[in-house]
Amino acid sequence: MNRRQMLGFSAAGLVAAAPCGSAMAAGKKGGLRKFTNEEFYKNGEFDQEAGLKAYQELFEHHDYSLRDSLKGNKDFWAADFKQNDFARVGMGGIFWVNEKEYGYFGHEIFLLPGQMIVEHAHAPAEDKPAKHECWQVRHGSIYTFGEGDETVECEFDLPKSQKGHITTKCVGKLEVGDMAALNRLEAPHFMMGGPEGAIVTEYGSFHSGDGLRFTNPTVGF
């Protein structure tokens, strides 16, 4: 199964989500450095290897226990969604399982500080219901955006590249160990890495790339 078939993410309809003002879960002393787009593009094309190296820095910053097994793993990927703004819009991940017959999915999500996954929803596909999912923060923190009334502002401005393509305004913050779930099937949602970035485990039902629906029509892989 390729990345296009597998890729999907979320963070909406918060369950037990902490407010944006709660204390972040820190990594190593000194903080994770600021990343810039100049690091991730060569001749106007996204350099996935540079993206993967940035996530390796994230792993080292948080003493992430799986970092050695991920090195060189062909299923470890980084994507900028064709937005040419990887420092602010993108994600990394590794898929542990996506079982269609029995309907379960396991995914690790990696986000740099202030890095946003593009807003999206999941629709029925491949004779399966729309995907449902929940997320547990392992390291760092995330801001979640979903349906509902606008709540508190997060400390990051939303990426300019996504202006006009964000519809969700209910914001919360999840720290290490916190969990949240999609509030309903087919709800639009996205998440953003906190000040120290984030490593998040996603649990969900079967994921089909054919069921992805992006708010921004320019998104691609």
Domains and CATH numbers, the chain: 10-207 (2.60.120.10)
At 18 the pLDDT is: 35
**CA torsion angle 43 164 211 154 (round to 10):** 90
User: What angle is formed at CA 54 by the lines to CA 156 and CA 202, rounded to 5 degrees?
Assistant: 70
Burial of residue 217 (number of CB atoms within 10 Å: 0-12, 13-18, 19+): exposed
At 154 the pLDDT is: 81
Q: Mean pLDDT by 10-residue block, N- to C-terminus, for the chain (221 residues)? A: 36 35 47 94 95 95 80 82 98 94 96 97 96 97 90 84 93 94 95 97 96 95 82
